[in-house]
Structure 1
Amino acid sequence: MSALSSNWDRRSVLRSAAGLAALGPLAACGSNNGRSGGGSSGKELVQYFHAYGEAGTEQAVKRYAKAYDKAEVTTQWITGSDFESKLFASLLTKNAPDVFEFHPQIQLVRSGQVADLSDIVDPVEDDFNPADIASHTVDGKIYGVRMIDDPQFFFYRPSLLQKAGVEVPTTLDELIEAAAKLTTGKVKGLFIGNDLHAVINPMIWSAGADTLDGKNRIAYHTEGVKEGLKKMRSLFTSGHLLLDAPADYWDPSAIDQGLCAIQFCGMWAMPQMQKTLGDDIGVFPFPKVTDSGKPSVYNGGWSMFVNAKGRNVDLAKEYVKWLWIDQKKYQEDWSLSYGFHIPPRSSLAASADKLKSGLPAEGVKLFGEYGHFDNIGWTQSMITALEDVFADCVRKDGDPEAALDKADVTVNRELKKLFG
């Protein structure tokens, strides 16, 4: 089995949480929560995980849970591309999980769906990446415990670049030129995902902009972003972009199978790429879009949340503390044994020998220099608004200014609802 053979699209979960009310009609989907119903003690917990593609992950999660002696912990390992719909539908029912993995989304906080975990995180807060803490904090309270950090960048075949006389791109223009020179026969120069959504935020950051500024105001509507959209349009129409890969950007099969010379993907795929390609693999960040821009690395990842409306909130918090704060051996195993991820705990990251040399070390370095984290205030409606901009300006030949104006209406409406 390929280490990343799952058909699960990581990005769709990363960009979900459209609002609990909207998922009302799906509530029946979450009725099978796997509770054993056993025992008079009531010491039972249910946790939801999406099906990771890396082999051994399901067994690892269940092994950790079995080692917990204060409750019987049942794991729902949800396969397919509908993890978020099943999760959010279940949260509307009495069979909701006590603990679940997801990403920081302010709607979960505003709706009272996730518990404040400040009391269990505060004692070790200084050992977490500060950006991970910031991305889970609302009004001074911490919601969620980060499990892994997943930086994403471009992977390339040095042998193919050398053969084509191409240097590693440092600008978006150079990336477009490289894609042209690297396209030969059945090999396309570049793969950035079948729907292109994975590179929207990196393009914005590399244009010297952001989704929102520090005061939760629109920060993406800039001349640099408009220039980036025009360049992405030229890339899309060039014929040098792989658009019909058998799996999306998160799976390394496109570059592993020789379908492209450069692929946007995540650090989790490094072991599989190295197994297939040996030393013929390198990484570089999303290159700067404009002269005033800067390379960027998107940091994905997963976090553990406690259902504030669950039956056993205190017990669930104890379990999350036990597994994702106290049990460093399991945290290290989870980050390093099934694909490569950066531990969000500084002490674990410092001792992660597998990340200290070669390609993983280069990935860690890029993450440290150019990493960007999710903004908890950037909601699904906002995400969709910029996906629509890409659809209009990159896939079609729409005007960037008009498309961004349209997005502004949606984003400002959301910001007013959330922040007044």
Structure 2
Amino acid sequence: MIFTIFLMLFTAACSKEPEALPPPSTNGDLQGEIVLWHSFTQGARNEFMKNAADAFMKEHPGVKITIETFAWSEFYTKWTTGLQSDQVPDVSTALPNHVVELLDADAIIPIDDVIDNIGRDRFYEAPLKEGSLNGKNYSIPIYSHAQVMWYRKDLLEKANLEVPKTWDELFEAAVKLNDPPNVYGLSVPLGMGDMLATRFLNFYVRSAGETLITEDGKANLTSKAAIDGINYWVNMYKSTSPNGSLNFKTLDQSTLFYQGKTAFDFNSGFHIGGVKTNSPDLIDDIEAAPMPKIHADDPEVGIETSNIPMIVWKNSKHPDIAKAFVESLYEKDNYIDFLHSVPAGMLPAMKDIAEDPAFLNEPTIQKFRSSVDIISNAVNRGTAIGMEYEPTLPSVIVTTQNVIEKMFQNIILKNESVQEAAEKAERELNGLIEISKS
């Protein structure tokens, strides 16, 4: 269904490069109304966006900002249907895959002027690259986070185990700590309707120096690294994972770790808040480590980084206001307040802020400083899945069509051989990629 929607949008879209619109006004005489969409639906992040809009309107009395919030799943449906009915906002948050699709649909405009006004050199290079086309930037990252390995310190200490550095060491440790139903060594989430199986396979393939989408835009599920990775997660599922994880989605997977039911998991700094809310007595027992490698002495490689950007829509009647509002979010005090609304979960997309004492001297960040440093180190090394070479449609297809999730289900439920299932899934992905080009 998702593929059908965005394929329809792409087919109807103009193929020319989007035109730049005027830069934001700097004379303080902004006049007009804009609509802001964002997906920070609750808590301190939601309050921050309200307060930021109020402060901007107070500084610019001629401006009115209407805010509409949507969960990420609703947001996707809202903008895909909105493009057809010309009901889109002036400015919004997005996900990296959304930006790729919106670029293809000619729906957003360059914001190089905003980036340059804030200071291009202040941003990590990788997040800017994800929203670029033909040398222009169409998105600006508002925060970043990266996938790392989380583990229970208390369980490892009790079993006299070291923190795993390789995938083999992780498998051995997870098996030793597996004590169902009290604690599972590691849950392997393979549910349809989510991308976690794709994410887990990508961890292994990237650590081997390969990618799920090759440089020429093809799916890679049959290389030695990919086949090894599929076998690895099938074996881990059978050895250390609850049976129900065959249908797990993101919330199911995270909740197990929040409740102290898994010894290892993969996620970003958002795990800290999840454990603190659900099992505060375990907060001193969790810590992050770098992603495992094939061999302990392998060089560090980027795995998966998520950069959540802001974008300005082409249909905006007041791009100057939209751009000026975006720029205001990056004023130092504002930006740090925003990041602290989910401390250690949302990390700076700007290098100088990542080292600023005003950002670092927050209690949760101080408590988990070593974990935050590990995540921060991973931020500029990784990309969104499939965007290692450039942001392209295959990256959207591999993460939204559940082909890899279906592959794992066929291996486990239908006893298909790994080689056969991988070949079939690779053909299916490459077929979808070819359709997207037509």
Given residue 373 of structure 1, which amino acid in structure 2 is its aligned partner?
T
Say whether residues 1:401 and 2:402 are aligned partners. no
Q: Which moved more, 1:213-222 or 1:301-310?
A: 213-222
* Bigger relative CO (Cα 8 Å, ≥ 6 apart): 2
TM-score (norm 1): 0.80
Contact 1:206 1:290 in 2 (8 A): no
Match of 1:154 among 142, 149, 152: 149
Q: Give me the whole-angstrom Cα distance separating, in 2, the residues matched to 1:140 and 1:23.
A: 21
User: Structure 1 residues 282 and 229 mapped into 2: Cα distance closer, same or farther (>3 Å)?
Assistant: same
2:257 partner amino acid: I
Matches of 2:252 and 2:3 in 1, distance apart? 16
**Which moved further from structure 2: 288-297 or 168-177?**
288-297
Matched letter for residue 21 of structure 1: M
The answer for the alignment partner of 1:136 in structure 2 is 131
User: Where do 1:10-409 residues align within 5 Å?
Assistant: 19=6, 21=8, 43-52=32-41, 55-69=43-57, 70=60, 71-79=63-71, 81-105=73-97, 106-123=100-117, 124-184=119-179, 185-193=181-189, 195=191, 196-197=196-197, 198-218=199-219, 221-241=222-242, 243=244, 248=250, 252-273=254-275, 275-289=280-294, 297-323=303-329, 325=330, 327-340=331-344, 341-351=346-356, 352-353=359-360, 354=362, 357-368=366-377, 371-374=381-384, 375=387, 376-377=391-392, 378-383=394-399, 384=401, 385-393=403-411, 397-409=415-427
Pair 1:256–1:363, CA change in 2 (3 A)? same
Structure having the larger proportion of residues in helix: 2
Rounded to whole Å, the distance in 2 between the matches of 1:222 and 1:367 is: 30
Deviation, 1:208, is 2.2
Q: Percent identity?
A: 21
Contact 2:201 2:229 survives alignment (8 Å) = no
Are the counterparts in 1 of residues 89 and 316 from structure 2 also a CA contact under 8 Å?
Answer: yes
Native 8 Å contact 1:252 1:273 kept in 2: no
Tell me how far apart the structure 2 counterparts of residues 139 and 250 of structure 1 sit (CA, whole Å). 40
Aligned residues: 387
Change (3 A) 1:52 1:243: farther
Residues 342-400 of structure 1 deviation map (CA, whole Å, 9 limit, x = unaligned)? 10011211112148755343333354258411212143223224344344446654334
Residue 335 of structure 1: CA displacement?
1.4
Summarize the Cα distance change of 1:84–1:18 in structure 2 as closer, same or farther, 3 Å threshold: same
Question: Match of 1:273, as an amino acid?
Answer: V
Q: Report the Cα distance in structure 1 between the residues aligned to 2:218 and 2:7, rounded to whole angstroms.
A: 24
* Separation in 1, partners of 2:253, 2:318: 37
**In 1: Cα distance, 2:415 partner to 2:45 partner:** 42
Contact 2:175 2:185 in 1 (8 A): yes
User: 1:107 offset after TM fit, Å?
Assistant: 2.3
Match of 1:165, SS?
Answer: coil
- Whether the 8 Å contact between 1:200 and 1:387 is mirrored in structure 2 is no
CA distance in 2, matches of 1:419, 1:233: 33
From the superposition, tell whether residues 333 and 415 of structure 1 become closer, same or farther in structure 2 (CA, over 3 Å).
same
**Equivalent residue letter for 1:279:** D
Residue 33 of structure 1 corresponds to which residue in structure 2? none
Cα distance in 2, alignment partners of residues 194 and 268 from structure 1: 21
Cα 1:194/1:358, change in 2 over 3 Å = farther
- Mark the runs of 5 or more structure 1 residues left unpaired by the alignment: 1-14, 25-40
Pair 17,206 (structure 1): closer, same or farther in 2 beyond 3 Å? farther
Contact 1:116-1:141 at 8 Å conserved across structures: yes
Q: Which amino acid aligns with 1:389?
A: M
Aligned partners of 1:117 and 1:317 also within 8 Å: yes
CA contact (8 A) 1:382 1:410 kept: no
- Normalised TM-score (structure 2): 0.77
Maintained 8 Å contact 1:192/1:249: no
What amino acid is the match of 2:258?
Answer: D
Mapped partners of 1:46, 1:154: distance in 2: 38
Measure the CA separation in 1 of the matches of 2:301 and 2:178. 24
Q: Which amino acid in 2 is paired with 1:298?
A: E
Please state whether the residue corresponding to 1:308 is helix, strand or coil: coil
Q: Secondary structure at the match of 1:373?
A: coil
Q: CA deviation at 1:76?
A: 1.1
Gap change, CA 1:397 and 1:365, over 3 Å in 2:
same
- Going from structure 1 to structure 2, the CA distance change for 1:246 and 1:387 (only over 3 Å counts) comes to closer
Contact 1:125 1:133 in 2 (8 A): no
More divergent stretch after superposition (289-298 vs 392-401): 289-298
Q: What code does the residue aligned with 1:187 have?
A: V
| Contact 1:190-1:263 at 8 Å conserved across structures | yes
